[in-house]
Amino acid sequence: MVDAKEILLAEPRGFCAGVDRAIEIVERALQKFGRPIYVRHEIVHNTFVVNDLKEKGAIFIEELDDVPAGATLVFSAHGVSKAVQEEAKARGFSIFDATCPLVTKVHIEVAKLAKEGYEFLMIGHKGHPEVEGTMGQLSEGIHLVEDEDDVAKVNPKQTELLAVVTQTTLSVDDAAGIKAAIKARFPNVREPKQQDICYATQNRQDAIKVLAPQVDVVIVVGSPTSSNSNRLRELADRLGTPAYMVDNADELQPAWFDTAARVGLTAGASAPEVLVNGVIARIKALGAVSVRKMDGVEETMKFPLPKGLKMIDPATGLEIEVRKAPETGA
């Protein structure tokens, strides 16, 4: 590294309320019902988090056939299709739904408008579990558009009642471009009253827009499967700053910092702060001498847990905290 050797921390970064809630659901289920607890799909897209929960007794599965009768099952933060919900219920599992409430909001909107006769265009990435879950709320009448080219090709059965919904973890700018193309082709399309892209995705992308022009390289802490983490790296790159995504400090390459006086550091919404701290320590070992947290939006949102997992202290009548909310400060 050269000269100043400063690390700038994006704010906000790391865990969002939906991720925090999903992890806590699995941890409370383990504490209340004992191991194993079965989780359909990775609870959130982060290798460290998933491995930590595996060690505590969580078993991650993709097919319900792999869940034994009478087991406790948790749906991941990304949500599941109606078919998965109904099959799990029919099999008699004890179910806890860790779907992010902001994803559930999209599911409710789809169900409500479908009853009114609407068809849907869903902006999202094919194969992502959130997209599969949202599109799976209906048996027909919902069409995936991944980019502006797809908008020209899509053929809904009717266009009088047409609505658009969005995967919550997309690039805000990319989604806006696709929405504009949809609006140009289908002028009467109905858009959600509040945008579907979640507050945490928006805030982390806004922070990158402030951070990237001030640094020589950007490091994003996140797993390859994490949609919102990938979007952060792409955004920094698009803004003209070299950007790299790492699962942990071991993946950092010294050559990235050869000519970097200032390093920008952020983390996707499913990446815990312990990994950020590990990256800071590694960059310091490569020559960084100071860490500075940028000003940014303070996130205070917290989502309630399912009733069956709340644990009350009989002495005080207060809810028992199983885990502390992760720190987002330096």
198 DSSP 8-state letter: -
Distance between CA atoms of residues 263 and 291, nearest Å: 9
3-state secondary structure of 218: strand
Tokens of 23: 């992890």
Q: Whats the size of the chain, residue-wise?
A: 330
Residue 62 designated active-site: no
Tens digits of residue pLDDT in 99-119 = 999 999 999 999 999 999 999
Q: Please identify which residue in the block is written with the tokens 């499967």.
A: 225
Sign of the dihedral defined by the CA atoms of residues 38, 61, 77, 108, in that order: negative
Neighbour tally for 273: CB within 10 Å: 17
DSSP notation for 75-105: E-TT---HHHHHHHHHTT-EEEE---HHHHH
Domains and CATH numbers, the chain: 6-15+199-293 (3.40.1010.20), 18-99 (3.40.50.11270), 102-185 (3.40.1010.20)
3-state secondary structure of 10: coil
Tokens of 195: 């945008």
Distance between CA atoms of residues 201 and 231, nearest Å: 9
DSSP notation for 262-306: EEEEEE-TT--HHHHHHHHHHHHHTT--EEEEPP-PPP---PPPP
For the full predicted model, state whether its pTM sits above 0.85: yes
The bridge status of strand 262-267 relative to strand 6-9 is parallel
> Given 130, 160, 234, 298, which residue is catalytic?
130
3-state secondary structure of 62: coil
Per-residue pLDDT of the chain (330 residues; tens, 9 = 90+): 555 489 999 999 999 999 999 999 999 999 999 999 999 999 999 999 999 999 999 999 999 999 999 999 999 999 999 999 999 999 999 999 999 999 999 999 999 999 999 999 999 999 999 999 999 999 999 999 999 999 999 999 999 999 999 999 999 999 999 999 999 999 999 998 788 999 999 999 999 999 999 999 999 999 999 999 999 999 999 999 999 999 999 999 999 999 999 999 999 999 999 999 999 999 999 999 999 999 999 999 999 999 889 766 666 666 666 554 444 333
